[in-house]
Structure 1
Amino acid sequence: MTTLAWPDSPLRAAGHTPSLPPASQADYRAMPSPAELLRSLPQSARAAQSVNAGRAAVKRVLSGQDPRWLVVIGPCSIHDPRAGLDYASRLAELAAELDDTLLIVMRAYFEKPRTSVGWKGLINDPYLDDSCCMDEGMHIARRFLLAAAERGLPLAGEALDPLSPLYLADLYSWTAIGARTTESQIHRELASALDSAVGFKNSTDGTLDAALNAIVSASSPHAFLGMDHAGQVAVVNSRGNPHGHLVLRGGGGRPNYDSVSIALAEQALKKRDIPPVIMVDCAHGNSWKNHALQPMVLADAVSQIVHGNRSIRAFMLESFIEGGNQPIPADLSQLRYGCSITDPCVDWDTTARILRETRAKLRPLMGN
């Protein structure tokens, strides 16, 4: 057996410590390790029960073992923890009411991908002032997740920065890989190591290939560079995640939740030997980022199920206390309570109405 080696590498010299090049374009600021944050903000018994039960239920729904439908719903992003927990309390009550038909999981997103520049989320800039106190942002995000989980709500997040899951992933029951990162090898490898089910969104141009390749890739074991909970750079050996699935979010100037698009997605999944499990994202490209259209997208997808579709197992909606969205004002005291500062959201009253309507339409199909 031939062993590949580089025998004259200076790194083989005993006691050699390689020097680092000067960072002319960057400064470095220390972060607490994931282990330090988890020690200071550990899971409570109630939060752990909510997370574990949520993970198991999501996987059962997506596999068809549980006849309910998954609904991932909540603010486009959390910027005000007080308003976010107000929403979480309302959603927890509604989730209990509709639990016989719908498994409701709250969106608790703290990182926002940007096409160019803009506010990158609560972790990156928790005080909305470009101070970028990420250590405090991570602390605030974990406190929020603990408080929401203790209300009995399963939680959903987007894996954007590859290190953030070490701080937060133990509190998520469902994870998204976004349209801009589905093609990224790093994010596919990351997904292969997560304990939660992972939804891969189709690309921003509306094509499915990147998401389908990601589902296959993430289901396989990988070895990749990462970081352990102590903050040490490490080789991560993942076992693969068998719970990847397709999220249709529209793109390329057209939606893809209609029956023809769903049929084409089913064919593409079958061709790749991927289980025909689809989540319809009612926001983003499917609603042209017009929150008033989200209820129509949901109603159309539900109608397809009523008329015999069995591949649509889940829905995603962006919802908050107040409808629409708002820019970040120079005077932060002028922020409207419970209104998104990123994508526009459906208001709470509309949220409760359309979810009750969805439950009424789907309840007769339970077990069919």
Structure 2
Amino acid sequence: MSHARNAPDPPTTDPVWTPILTGLRATALDCLQTSFALLADHAHGSGSHLALGARYGFRTRERDGLVTVEATSDDRAAEAVDLLGLRVEGRWMQLDGPQVRRLCGPGQPLYVTADAYDLPWCPYHGHERMRHSFLVTDAAGGEVTVVDGYHNDTAWGAARPGVWRLPTADFDAALAGGAHTLAVAAHPAPAIDVPAMLAGNAERAQRSRPEIADYLARIGAALGTVAGLHRFVLDVWLLGRARDLHEQWLATARPDAAAALAGQGPRWQALSARSYVALRRAQAGRPATPELADALGTLIAEHLDALESIAAPTGPQDADAAPAGGDGVRAAVLGALGDTLHLDGSALHTTDVLRELPGFDSFRLVDVIDRVERRLGVEVPATALSAADLRDVGSLCAMFGAAAGGVR
């Protein structure tokens, strides 16, 4: 099959799916999770997909003679069942385009995985082979509507969430190599017992340490080959996204506890960049050094330590409760943000990123800190005033909660 190598067509808009895509935390999802996440938010509301980050686990497998943490489609489907309330009610293997179109009925989106090499809206088109998921939401009037929530920067351009309407001939050509297709029904999302989940995460983190040590030894030993380094780059990317997704879920479920993970994200991004540079150099004949595996081990250990510390008894867990001082830490922080930035403090959420608030900058942050300290009668230690620890409203609340003797 021949493929055009020109840039993919720009996405279109859709009254149903474009708003859902806008609310998707796509930078924390892999290409198999995104479509389950879209189905969850479609069924249960924006942000429902963050439950995919609730459970920590570490599992390795063999792939092409190398150890990896890459999940399979079945793994991701099982997570969607357990954490999102989705149910796989039909499964078909190696369908072609016409067969997928016949399965698609009104209001019944299909979860489809195919080779990204063949998908004309993907930057991987004609360049790299990998399983990639998307939704088929409509197949009528000579067009097929596909919804893809993937967000990544690639060597061939940026992949961004969007909706594409393909002529049926183009869609059929894209799936000529065969597509795996799931009919997924939405059931009520299960309620997550947050304290029990955090305790389970801590236990799983502790149990995983021997397996992680073995994994690091094996993946480090393969860094001398281009294939091993390519696998390392992908694993760092996957582990970093999984950690980010857990932090984003935690920010909604236990914003005080999310502070334990704050600041880790940039270090994962830095290692991802370093490992990609090493891969490019290895492809040019300059081998990588084993210190990359050591750096990954340090980041994983930092994450595990945080998971274990989060599960320790911490007192009140209601994000809206006043953990300490006056009208409460949360009220003091929201009031100070509202006064300083001329915003409605009651409309702010713990997940709001500080730097994205209108008018926010480092000078306004100093004003906010000064106002909250005066209101609560506390002084935040200088060691706590780290930009990495002040990512969002929740981390700001956690910092003052700790200073006031509350939870963190």
TM-score tier after normalising by the smaller chain length: under 0.3
TM, length-normalised to structure 2: 0.25
TM, length-normalised to structure 1: 0.27
